[in-house]
Amino acid sequence: MPAREKLQEQVSILREQLNQDPPLPLEKREALEALIAKFEVQLELEPATQPPSIADDVNLAVERFELDHPGIAGTLRNIVVALGNMGI
């Protein structure tokens, strides 16, 4: 599967996880929604024009969700891999 399709798939999974129970605290929900918005922008850009900071943002999010929401953290790790495969 091409990296862009993998990223799109992982973003969809992340959206599903965001809407599942138990509900996330508002602060964490807003942080994930902002991250999803960044991914959607990334999918529209060519790899050469994409800012590298998004991978840093995702790695920070992994740390925030790792203990309380391991499923979300796993999806975020998959997104890091997809971004790396895209050269980001």
Number of domains in the chain: 1
Residue 46 has a pLDDT of: 61
User: Rounded to two decimals, what is the model's pTM?
Assistant: 0.78
Domain residue limits at 39:
3-21+34-85
Residue 76 domain-assigned (yes or no):
yes
What are the CB-based long-range contacts (under 8 Å, 24+) for 74-79? Answer: 75/10, 75/13, 75/14, 75/17, 76/14, 76/35, 78/6, 78/10, 78/13, 79/7, 79/10, 79/11, 79/14, 79/39
Residue 77 has a pLDDT of: 93
Residue 28 domain-assigned (yes or no):
no
Residue 27 domain-assigned (yes or no):
no
Residue 36 has a pLDDT of: 87
- Ranges of the chain whose pLDDT falls below 50: none
